[in-house]
Structure 1
Amino acid sequence: MASGTALIYDEEMTAHKLLWNDPICDIEVPERLSFSYEQLRSYHLVERCVHVPAREGSEEEILLVHSLEHLEMAKSTQTMNEEELKRVSENYDAFFFHPSTYHCARLAVGAALQLVDAVMAGKVRNGMALVRPPGHHSQRNAANGFCLFNNVAIAAEYAKLKYGLQRILIVDWDVHHGQGTQYIFEEDPSVLYFSWHRYEHQEFWPSLKESDYDAVGLGKGKGFNINLPWNKVGMGNSDYLAAFFHVLLPMAFEFDPELVIVSSGYDSGIGDPEGQMNATPEVFAHLTHFLMQLANGKLCVILEGGYHLKSLGESVCMTVKTLLGDPVPQITGEMAPCLSAVESIQNVRAAHKPYWKCLAYEDTSFLQNLSTKSHLLKKANSNPSAEDESQITNNNNTVKVERFLELHMKNILFPVPPIKTATTGSEGSEYFLPEHVQLVKEMDETEIKVLVSGFYADLVKEEKTLLSLGSTFVILDKILKKEVCNGIAASPTAALSAAVAVRHCVRFGFQRVLCVFVGDMQMIPNTEDGKMLVINICEKEQSRKTSCKHYISLNWKEDAGGNDFFSAVLGFILPVAYSYQPNLTVVAVGPNRNLGISGISLLVALLRGLAESRVFVVIEDTEISLMQTVAEALVGTSTPPFGIYVPPTQEKVNKIKALRDQFQQEWKMLQCSVKDGISRN
């Protein structure tokens, strides 16, 4: 599989600039590009990327999406004077021409296509193109909203034509609706287009009815256009994550794209004057991490908006660090989506229920309740709430936002361990494990006895089980001391190793340890103090004397004919895990495992987004293919082989619903998928 991350930047694209006073367009400045690039340099990310040169997109490539009339109009502006340029610009909604605009726009198109070529040809695994002018508002025959040519749409058509792709996912996380992209693909089932955007019940630009949740596509494209409208400002990290868990990711995994393209607008980030949202830069690392699990890792990120330079630059860096495979920073803020986000998410799920198997059993009865609240919500959301007004993004104080981000980034950034993944193994292990896995020597029996006698004697009853802990302790210590990012161990007693590992982490000082156990869990640790959360994925319910929110039994047996585990991971496990926000994650695979290799590797890959990617995996079954696949998921060199999507049975859906009902008040990220899921306003 390809490795490496492409970065495309050409300073010539900064030549496009506004020549006259225009209060609408004056935020689209060349510094958006140059500042982002310099921020990447300051984090030493540029030299870690593969440099791919930009080129001009050809007229034939632009005509894949745009009309000849539009192309000729744009070309004609190269020789115009300022007065002529101003007059032509006035024909469009929020756009300005400069004599260099046509050249810059062609470079933006060509940069997007160069990125697609690099990824599809296997020269790199993924990449980012920093481009101007942006593209997602531009339509077949019109410039619009700072956009001349639709870079992402052209890239998708180009990929279909050149590489024969039949399924492309476009994720538009810009704060504005990319109506141009929607119009281009709304009848095309080969492109799944997802956009979240500030909408405020059609009061925010572009103020279109077709930007609402019920615009699902036309003709054969019905179901392939997903609009998630934000009807209030101040949306934060939990709202964005909930949108991915409960809307985008289930449909994306079912769609099974061959390529993912991101319309990467960072005006949805904190401090931006356009978006007025509260999402901090690290959320884009998490969103990127999720998308990297699709399309065998083929991911092209193409810049769109972003008008607060510091917020933009830091968010670009978070995206590129994740593309490079760096540990994902801990997400910050309360993990509880707001009522308005819940309403929008549930409306989208209901609108798309007829088109997606993953939503086949969706309960739409909540719509009756929501409709009675809609006029109240609209009135309440027309202006920011008192809570929103207290947030830093809404006071529009650029200096204050910059100071906040300066401190915030220092708090969440951390040194990258030199070795990502550690394991113990016999001679020859290096031949089936990924090259970035480091083999370490197990503790000897004397060292283990010293540790066990003091702190774990009640768990280790028999001396013969001591040796099974040799790899557990040595790998876990390397993770806890940040000498490695994560690790994997084979153990003949996975349940014991997991129990010892969790207690060891708590003793080390960790306050929240997530343990996900797959199979029969012979010993269930005491979770009453909240320092550990155990999710046991088992075929039969594990008996427990006392009810506790920190022990959850999920009864699930993966379908033999495919992978139906998506719904459990995305609809329950990830929302609970993100609500808990662990300091470290332990995944244990014990006897009588009820998941296949694809389900286990999916679980491990997605849980790498938590706890700064600190994950310890212990596997009782030493089957080489399982160890190899999980190791590749930990290193990030390969995405899990998901297999054929199989929708869960009604019985399994009912299990998930019952667990949501039981735990939604404790783990609030679950509240987006239940009837009365209300947290904060």
Structure 2
Amino acid sequence: MENHSKKSVKKAGDAPLRRSSRIHNQAKPNPGLVAAKKNAQMRWGHKKQPVFSFVPDIYQVARDSKDCVRISTGVVYAEKFAEHKCLWDENHPECPERFNAVLRRCGELGLLNRCSIIQPCSVAEAQLIALHTPELISLLKSTNNCNDLNHLENLASQYDSIYFHPSTYDCSLLAAGCTIKLVDEICKRNIQNGMAIVRPPGHHAEKNDFCGYCYFNNVALAANHALNIGIKKVLIVDWDVHHGQATQQMFYEDNRVLYFSIHRYEHGTFWPNLRESDFDSIGEGLGRGFNFNVPLNATGMRDNDYMAIWHQLLLPVAYEFNPELVLISAGYDAAIGCAEGEMELTPAVYSHLLTSLMCLANGKVAVVLEGGYYIKSLAEAAAMTLRALLGDPCPGIGSLGPPSEIMEDSIMNVIYVQRAYWKSLRHQKLYSILEPPEEDEQRHMPSLKYLHDGIKPTKYPTRDGYPVSTPSFLHYVAINLNNIIASTKLLKPEHKVCLVYDAKMMDHKNYEDKNHIEQPARISSIYKFLEDFGLLKRLHILKSRYCTDEELKYAHNESHIVEMSSLNKMTIKQLIEKKEIYQSVYFHQDTYQAACLAAGSLLEVVDSVMKGESCSGVAVIRPPGHHADIDDPCGFCIFNSVAIAARHAIKQYGLKRVLIVDWDIHHGNGTQEIFFEDSNVLYMSVHRFDGGEFFPHNGDGAASLVGRGEGEGFTVNIPWNKGNMGNAEYVAAFSQVILPIAYEYDPELVLVSAGFDAAVGDPLGGCKVSPEAFGHMTYWLSPLANGRLILSLEGGYNINSISYSMTMCTKALLGDPLPRLNDGLAPCQSAIDSINETLSVHHIYWSTLKPRIKSLPAENVLTEEKKRSSRNPPSLSSNILQQNTNGQKNEVNLLCEGQLFQELSLSEETNKVPVDADNEKNDDRSNDDQHQPPSSQPSASSTNSSQSSSEASNRPTLRQFLSDNLQALVNEEMFAVVPKRTCPHLPLVEPIPKTGINVQTPCSVCNDPKENWICLICYTVQCGRYINEHMMMHNAESGHPLVLSFSDLSVWCYPCQSYIDNQVLYEAKNAAHLSKFGTELAWSYGTVQVNLS
């Protein structure tokens, strides 16, 4: 027997080596679930079972995508658009050259020749009437062919930023018609996606008003058309620098349309100067939560600011919304050089913004030209957008840092007002404004500010009503923009995707167990699927090759290479004995050759991509590699192919930044070890960890492992601590951690350790990621590194799951439309905890993560009173409460208006307390009623009642109390919250149960005894938002609005987002007070008769 190395020596107390610890590490069934199933079987066993039962096909979506391949991109435009212009102002920015320059630049890049040209057409009046009044349509029609310039200019003065031309009516009909036609062609699958190069623009055109160069609302009309022909959900992304207030208005109460706008606002001082453009305008009625405004309160926003919006807000919400159509109101006035926007977006970033949205809605995306008034950046940005629609690689945009502080505030404000409606936005921790901050806690305090006077002129200027740049500024911008364009690499390799595969890798097999899960059929099945889906003929097939010893040394030491090379000389018995030395491996006489073939074949893919022959690549190889470290095979892995490939790219092509994304369910401990001290490789892994109990059974996959020396910060682990993770959790991991860091790192090559054992049905992973979700992950990474993206097969042990998954990834690389993921994607709390742990560790290394670790107030700090005060300057009697957030003093308005203080005191001296929603506006109650004791008033002797009344009357008023304690408020020694006097949901309060209220009752869901609330409608007890948010979930599911806290006996209304204090609540509060303190709660509501009928 040969003498094995020291690896076979065990220390005393060491656990015995197991044949395959990975196989034994499957999650055990929940005992409670097993018992429930047995009870159900006993209960229903005597009943006749149905002959048929529905078993969902977990691969149906992927299977149905077989024939869903990329088709052409459409473009629609009309030469007539060049006729519309301002006749009395030849320098007007909304000019024909905007249209001509876009067509010219797209033609120079050869983009139009690659598109399907759609014939232009005008909109029918019946379609216009759906969103615009007949009077407005008739008025515009009256200008048709009118050559009376005085009349046209006088008419224009009645509207904000409008001019009329004799052809304006025809061009407006044509612009709307072309947009609708484009959307119609996309919805009918005649084209994949498309762009409407139209003018005049439309997103400011209101139902009964022309506004902001707009006459008919092109995008809104197209969205309405899509809804009418069967599309159920439409996402409108408006990246024009001006708020598309008209589009917002048209769908403000419609939950079928999610409107998402990023616009310059500057607290209302920027046009269109509307209060409704701020972040707290979130929709009404059914549309509440479906309107997103991201206000830009400063100029100079850059690529990093917009990408932060995409990663923190738009992508999570878009995936939760799951649209069937995406419309882009594509204004380019945020691009560099535009005097209207004064922002600094590069033309190239628009391709990144768009590409990340193109995997939504089965690829149904329509881009519609809106604004943009610096001709060169407009034309270049529009051309970059069309390149993205055509599927060309996104040009690089450099390393992106964090968003500016002003942008960070806006993002956090939006999250604050929308997190109640979108579960995907609930990553931030919550704090109470009633409690001082913890050590090192970073808080965000939302605030509203509206600085515009709100006064509209009776007559609008028709000349010179736009910003004009100085010659020196234009000269500077021209030089800067020319340099940006010249340095932008517009790569388009001959082959979109290359593939390597060799059946000889199947020679590696297990002598003892022919059915071992790491079996040869893993790769042959994938290859067959690629063929069955018709993908092989669309791929550039590469020849395989063996990796040399010198190349193996990129990742492994010589002793490991020599030891593996000796396998082909061993007997079967020796090979079986040898595997016992290592953790979860097996050996065959052909193992060394297969492993060398796997690594060498991956290097062929790297060469093809780096030489510009192929844009991206797929390596269907085995044995896998990411567990193999410098000197050991491990976890079915012999040589670390991806690590070898990364070093090969660095040494042979001079790369300085290689990104490895490892989404195998097992942590790639080998890859991490190899690059642990290397800053040239950023290793990011999302894997199942289970506190170190999941394979490879060590702590290497913890979030706290970040690298060492020069490599510190370049190892990023996202460890799942439970199974059952699915699409939602991976969407969150990518949007919150992987993509932000990747964009800051700015890789030159992206390698994916593409294990598919997180896929649904895998025998080891215990997770449920769908095959199509892996396709989406691939698509998210494709804009990086000029599209240089390579997938290398790692694990995955359900043959069907890995075959469908790799097929979907390959389709994504080819640009095929991807199936929509399931609705309502939102990560579980365990995943959020894991992501937040990674953020807390890595924000010191990656500046783009810093804003994400701030916490948000649990209370509603944007009351209706505050919103009103933001419209009108606060009265002189208003006080300022200093709230400590992040260790600094930030001003937060605490409304202390005179009228409020006259009506409120600590003892509630006033008797005018409306309760019934129907009676809120009617105080005509009889005097007799006002002097009747309330039905819920506690019984007490007249002496006690009189004494209580006397004590109440001697208490200070609220104004006096706050005035006396102002310094304590400023010092945060105490906090003040003024609850609402009433709310429309009070009539829903039910009488307390006969058994009363026990404040010691734990949460009925998780049994946690801390911070519980009781529902005042059904009287269920569930935990608060600081624990597991079960009461919030109860509200979302049942609609029950009012809950009482066991901690401080306050009452919260979810729909009103406010604390409530009203005598209707006394019975419940008194019962809780009795349970908590053993005494009754003092009555402090006066003697109003309450009528809830």
TM over 0.5: yes
Residues 571-612 of structure 1, C-alpha deviations (whole Å, 9 max, x = no match)? 111111111111111101248545632443222110101100
Deviation, 1:130, is: 0.6
Tell me the residue number matched to 2:740.
575
Distance 1:91 1:311, change over 3 A: same
Contact 2:313 2:425 survives alignment (8 Å): no
Q: Who is 2:1035 aligned against? A: none
The question of whether the paired residues in 2 share the 8 Å contact of 1:558 and 1:565 is answered with no
Q: Is the 8 A contact 2:278 2:295 kept in 1?
A: yes
Unaligned runs of 5+ in 1: 379-392
Name structure 2 gaps, 5 residues minimum: 1-67, 438-442, 452-468, 503-526, 566-591, 627-639, 693-697, 759-764, 856-884, 887-1093
Deviations 1:398-427 (A, max 9, x none): 233223222212211233101010012368
TM-fit CA distance, 1:518: 2.1
Could you tell me how far 1:153 is from its partner in structure 2? 0.2
1:388 aligns with: none
Go from structure 1 to structure 2 and tell me whether the alpha carbon gap of 1:291 and 1:184 turns closer, same or farther (over 3 Å shift): same
Q: Residue 405 of structure 1 is aligned with which of 455, 460, 481?
A: 481
Deviations 1:320-342 (A, max 9, x none): 00110001111135422110000
1:17 counterpart residue number: 85
TM alignment of 1:294-309, pairs within 5 A: 294-309=360-375
CA contact (8 A) 1:494 1:590 kept: no
Task: Name which of 828, 831, 835 aligns with 1:656.
Answer: 835
- The whole-number CA distance in structure 1 between the counterparts of 2:723 and 2:93 is 51
1:243-258 superposed matches below 5 A: 243-258=309-324
Amino acid at match of 2:533: F
The alignment partner of 2:329 has SS state of strand
1:665 to 829, 844, 853: 844
Amino acid at match of 1:633: A
**More deviation, 99-108/485-494:** 485-494
- Larger relative contact order (CA 8 Å, sep ≥ 6): 1
> Could you tell me how far apart the structure 2 residues matched to 1:221 and 1:518 are?
37
Matched, 1:618 2:792: yes
Deviation at 1:249, TM superposition (A): 1.1
Contact kept, 8 Å, 1:564 with 1:645, in 2: the verdict is: no
Counterpart of 1:574, as a letter, is L
- Distance change (3 Å), C-alpha of 1:477 and 1:230: same
Question: Relative to structure 2, which stretch is displaced further, 647-656 or 180-189?
Answer: 647-656
Distance in 2 separating the partners of 1:95 and 1:276: 21
- The aligned runs of 1:501-512 (5 Å cut-off) are 501-507=645-651, 508-512=653-657
* Counterpart-to-counterpart distance in 2, 1:469 and 1:96: 66
Amino acid at match of 2:544: E
Question: Sequence identity, in percent?
Answer: 34
Matched letter for residue 414 of structure 1: L
CA gap of 1:468–1:373, structure 2 versus 1, over 3 A, is same
Structure with the higher fraction of residues in helix conformation = 1
**What is the DSSP-based 3-state SS (H/G/I as helix, E as strand, rest coil) of the residue aligned with 2:339?**
coil
Give the residue type in structure 1 aligned to 2:717.
Answer: S
Q: Which residue of 2 aligns with 1:452?
A: 551
Distance 1:455 1:255 in 2: 45
Q: Secondary structure at the match of 1:78?
A: coil
Instruction: Give the aligned partner of residue 117 of structure 1.
Output: 184
Matches of 1:640 and 1:366, distance apart in 2: 41
Please point out which of 417, 420, 436 is paired with 2:538: 436
Query: 1:263 offset after TM fit, Å?
Result: 0.3
Q: Choose from 329, 336, 344 the match for 2:402.
A: 336
Q: Who is 1:549 aligned against?
A: 713
Check the 8 A contact 2:360/2:820 in 1, yes or no.
no
Decide which moves more: 507-516 or 561-570: 561-570
Q: Distance in 1 between matches of 2:310 and 2:726?
A: 26
- Deviation per CA, 1:193-226: give whole Å up to 9, x if none: 0001000111101111110000001111100000
Q: 1:497 pairs with 641, 647, 650, which one? A: 641
Counterpart contact for 2:349–2:397, Cα < 8 Å:
yes
* Rg larger for: 2
Work out the CA distance in 2 between the residues paired with 1:267 and 1:644.
34
* Separation (CA, whole Å) in 2 of partners of 1:149 and 1:178: 12
Question: Using a 3 Å threshold, how does the CA distance of structure 1 residues 334 and 57 change in structure 2: closer, same or farther?
Answer: same
**Deviations 1:265-304, CA, capped at 9 Å, x for gaps:** 0001111000000110111000010110110110000000
The residue number in structure 1 matching 2:675 is 526
Alignment pair present for 1:609 and 2:774? no
One-letter amino acid of the counterpart of residue 65, structure 1: L
Deviations for 1:496-550, whole angstroms, at most 9, x for unmatched residues? 1111111112213111111011232141222423101101111115634755311
The match for 2:273 is 207
What is the CA–CA distance in structure 1 between the aligned matches of 2:757 and 2:87, rounded to whole Å? 69
Q: Which amino acid aligns with 1:466?
A: C
Deviation at 1:455, TM superposition (A): 4.2
User: What is the match of residue 603 of structure 2?
Assistant: 473
Asked if structure 2 preserves the Cα contact closer than 8 Å seen for 1:115 and 1:300, the reply is yes
Q: Within the alignment, does 1:327 sit opposite 2:429 as a pair?
A: no
**Residue in structure 1 matched with residue 515 of structure 2 by the alignment:** none
The two structures have a TM-score, normalised by structure 2, of 0.58
Paired residues of 1:276 and 1:394 also in contact (CA < 8 A): no
Kept in 2: contact 1:270–1:278 (CA 8 A): yes
Distance 1:560 1:574, change over 3 A: closer
Q: 3-state SS of the aligned residue for 1:217?
A: coil
Contact 1:558–1:564 (CA under 8 A) maintained in structure 2: no
**Is the CA contact 2:495–2:539 (under 8 Å) kept in the aligned structure 1?**
yes
Question: What code does the residue aligned with 1:502 have?
Answer: A
Contact 1:605 1:640 in 2 (8 A): no
User: Residue 365 of structure 1: CA displacement?
Assistant: 4.0
Determine whether 1:267 maps to 2:333: yes
State how many pairs are aligned. 658
Query: Could you tell me whether the CA contact under 8 Å between 2:393 and 2:491 is conserved in 1?
Result: no
In structure 1, the residue matched to 2:414 is 348
Alpha carbons 1:128, 1:300 under 8 Å: kept: yes
Alignment partners' CA distance in 1, 2:541 and 2:731: 32
**Residues 33-44 of structure 1 correspond to what in structure 2 (within 5 A)?**
33-44=99-110
Query: Cα distance, 1:472 vs. partner?
Result: 0.5
Equivalent residues of 2:336, 2:481 under 8 A apart: no
Map Cα deviations across residues 132-178 of structure 1 (whole Å, 9 max, x no partner). Answer: 1000001000100000000000000011112x111000000000000
Moved more, 324-333 or 560-569: 560-569
Check conservation: 2:749, 2:789, Cα contact below 8 A.
yes
Structure 1 position 395, deviation (Å): 8.7
Deviations 1:355-414, CA, capped at 9 Å, x for gaps: 111124543549995449988x99xxxxxxxxxxxxxx9997223322322221221123
Report the AA paired with residue 358 of structure 2: M
Distance 1:472 1:503, change over 3 A: same
Q: Mapping of 1:344-423 within 5 angstroms?
A: 344-365=410-431, 369-371=443-445, 397-423=473-499
* 1:543-564 deviation digits (Å, cap 9, x = unpaired): 3475531111111367467543
SS at match of 1:260: strand
The within-5 A match list for 1:131-150 is 131-150=198-217
Mapped partners of 2:471, 2:213: distance in 1: 25
The residue number in structure 1 matching 2:924 is none
SS in 2 for 1:501: helix
Which secondary structure does the structure 2 equivalent of 1:355 belong to? coil
Provide the rounded CA distance (Å) in 2 between the counterparts of 1:249 and 1:210.
Answer: 23
State whether residues 717 and 838 of structure 2, in contact with CA within 8 Å, keep that contact through their aligned partners in structure 1.
no
SS in 1 for 2:352: helix
Q: Distance in 1 between matches of 2:89 and 2:104?
A: 27
What CA distance in whole angstroms lies between the structure 1 residues aligned with 2:792 and 2:471? Answer: 48
